[in-house]
Structure 1
Amino acid sequence: MRSFALVALLALLWGGSYPLLKLAVETIPPMTVVAIRSLVGGLFLLALLGPRIRLFADVSSGASLRALSIQSAFNCIIPWILVAHAMREIDAGLASILNSLSPIFIFLITALITRHEAVTARKGVGVVLGLSGVLAIVGLDALENVGTKTVAELACVAGSLSYAIAGVIGVRFAKVTPLVPAAGTTLLAAAVMIPLALLLEHPWNATPSMRSLLAVLASAILSTGLAMVVYFKLLATVGSIAMSSQAYLRIVVGVGLGIAFLGERPTTSMWIGLCLVVAGVVAMTLPSRKPASITRPSP
């Protein structure tokens, strides 16, 4: 039950990032938003880490600069750039479906390549149920325009694949306090994103509104800082496949926010989708009677 709660919390933190980022990019260039988000989020995590910052120097802990750099590339830099550009071209509904492919990628990578955790039939059923629920909630009509914005669609899928790779290799940090990889990967992302934003967007020409600034700060603290801690905690305790189930719950979060704040009314297909998503997440996160150990995949 605790695992399910953490998955739901991660879905809430990451699901809530979409409306926050939507407000942020109203008056702040997208790459600049990502740069601010990663920098502020990283500094927030560094403050939480406090004296334990010395753990960065402990290469034997698994939190080496090389490991953190690889994790940052797949979990932050590559997908954030790809998805940011894709969202300019495709509808939110289609983007939600394409962003929900990570659990499938993780399941296949784990089953066919790394085998770092048990791949059971129940988890496989959970992956299928979850994706079916996403399709029911978002609606099959979101797939009508597939192929019209091929580059953006492929970028979104590539972003999901990048997230999946990060989810698989991220278990190498299982023996380190989650704050270490969370702070390290986020700050490394900032080190890359800040020069890119300065070079490509000239943010000094922007005139950000107060609500855009507040939105990007909230995204940095909640959807980046706190979310990263929960993310690495889940990787260390339940593994890659169970952690990835939050990708399905994010859709539920988005729908819930629409109902709560935008006056949207849930349809029958949404209720059916909600049940399928919850069933899928439970199947993916429910611990086995004999919990299998999670091994660290080779770098």
Structure 2
Amino acid sequence: MNWNFRAVHPAALFALLAALWGGSFVWIEVGLDYFPPLSFAALRYDVAGLLVIAYAYATVDRWRPRGEEWLPVAVTAIFVIAAYHGLLFLGIEHVSGAVAAVLIGLAPVLTAGFAAALHRGEGLDGPRVGGILLGFLGVAVVAGIGPAGFAGSDAGGVVLVLAGAAAFALGTVLAPEDGALPLRTVEGWAMLGGAGLLHVWAAARGESLGEVAWTPEALAAFVYLAVLAGAVAFLVYFHLLSAIGPTELNLVGYVEPLVAAGVSWAVLGQVVGPRTMAGFACILAGFALVKHAELRRLVGDVGTLARGA
């Protein structure tokens, strides 16, 4: 079955992706009441990986990598699946899902910094340096960092989530691009590889699948994360990447915290405070500065389309 995403307007798919990924932070928080964190992340990608590989098998000729094509799969599995999600799930044991969603918004800013440091980007001009600094200022505001240390946030949880964002950013920069291999193939096998690494990490940490409490709430959280926010959301992401491009698609990371805040209020009764929203505004402004050239081109393209209409 090859889902016909072309029949759906990109704006609707963008909103769907933001809703699915934004809600995932809260459902991680819900599920952690019933699952050990690393085992939870591993089981999620066991299922999501199998679903994405099955979809690749049904829709593309290159559903299995060969030779050097395993390199981007391995990098993605290590950094983007295992390290990012393991650290994120561990961090959400200590900070709310909504706060974690805001902190993860630093990932595109860190990506620009890593790319410049490894000479894989456009370098750091004044606006990009300012954007990176604004991003870190936003993190400091969210965490309540001041002369007395952290105010109102768990320092360990903040550090774990930020380390996850850094792992995601580094993996994005390090993964070699191979246009011959479909992205769904790379992601599907990376999910399974990353899930295997998470199972090993969980065992080393002393976690056991026997600790899982399969309540209705646990099952709902698991199905949401593995099927909806896992397989379905990634398939939407693949389509949007080719339909609207990476710069516009990166903006989904700045809609997710708003969704996470709304879902957190609706499901858990949590209200995101003004400090978190102020920090989010700083991180968003930092992203705009880091991506200033791409966003300027995007605004120009939108203006041209509007005049043509």
CA distance in 1, matches of 2:43, 2:111: 29
Q: Among residues 218, 226, 234, which one is paired with 1:220 in the alignment?
A: 226
Deviation track 1:186-214 (CA, whole Å, cap 9, x = no partner) reads 11112222344456322124332122012
How many residue pairs get aligned? The number is 284
CA distance in 1, matches of 2:99, 2:265: 19
Letter in 1 for 2:252: Q
Moved more, 90-99 or 259-268: 259-268
Corresponding position of 2:3: none
**Contact 2:64 2:185 survives alignment (8 Å):** no
Corresponding position of 1:101: 106
Corresponding position of 1:15: 22
What's the offset of the Cα at 1:41?
0.5
Secondary structure of residue in 1 paired with 2:177: helix
The gaps in structure 1 that reach 5 residues or longer are 292-299
The yes-or-no answer on 1:249 pairing with 2:268 is no
**Contact 1:258 1:264 survives alignment (8 Å):** yes
The yes-or-no answer on 1:89 pairing with 2:94 is yes
Sequence identity, in percent? 21
Moved more, 31-40 or 51-60: 51-60
Q: Among residues 39, 56, 69, which one is paired with 2:74 in the alignment?
A: 69
Correspondences of 1:126-165 after superposition (within 5 Å):
142-143=144-145, 146=150, 150-165=155-170
Letter in 1 for 2:150: V
Over 3 Å counting, the alpha-carbon distance change for 1:4 and 1:94 in structure 2 is: same
Letter in 2 for 1:160: A
CA distance in 2, matches of 1:268, 1:106: 27
Deviation track 1:38-79 (CA, whole Å, cap 9, x = no partner) reads 01111111222234565144548x7x2222011111101011
**Contact 2:24 2:225 survives alignment (8 Å):** yes
The yes-or-no answer on 1:210 pairing with 2:213 is no
Over 3 Å counting, the alpha-carbon distance change for 1:130 and 1:12 in structure 2 is: farther
Aligned-pair RMSD on alpha carbons?
4.3
CA distance in 2, matches of 1:205, 1:278: 39
Corresponding position of 2:46: 39
Letter in 1 for 2:192: L
CA distance in 2, matches of 1:7, 1:169: 26
Over 3 Å counting, the alpha-carbon distance change for 1:125 and 1:51 in structure 2 is: same
Deviation track 1:228-249 (CA, whole Å, cap 9, x = no partner) reads 334455666634x655443332
Over 3 Å counting, the alpha-carbon distance change for 1:257 and 1:58 in structure 2 is: closer
Letter in 1 for 2:187: A
Q: TM-score, normalised by structure 1?
A: 0.72
**Contact 2:73 2:186 survives alignment (8 Å):** yes
Letter in 2 for 1:288: R
CA distance in 2, matches of 1:262, 1:142: 22
Over 3 Å counting, the alpha-carbon distance change for 1:286 and 1:123 in structure 2 is: farther
CA distance in 2, matches of 1:96, 1:163: 14
**Contact 1:182 1:229 survives alignment (8 Å):** no
What's the offset of the Cα at 1:142?
4.3
CA distance in 1, matches of 2:179, 2:235: 12
Over 3 Å counting, the alpha-carbon distance change for 1:217 and 1:55 in structure 2 is: same
Letter in 1 for 2:208: H
CA distance in 2, matches of 1:4, 1:112: 34
Corresponding position of 2:115: 110
Moved more, 192-201 or 144-153: 144-153
CA distance in 1, matches of 2:297, 2:129: 14
Secondary structure of residue in 1 paired with 2:297: coil
**Contact 1:36 1:190 survives alignment (8 Å):** yes
Q: Among residues 173, 194, 211, which one is paired with 1:168 in the alignment?
A: 173
Corresponding position of 2:36: 29
Q: TM-score, normalised by structure 2?
A: 0.70
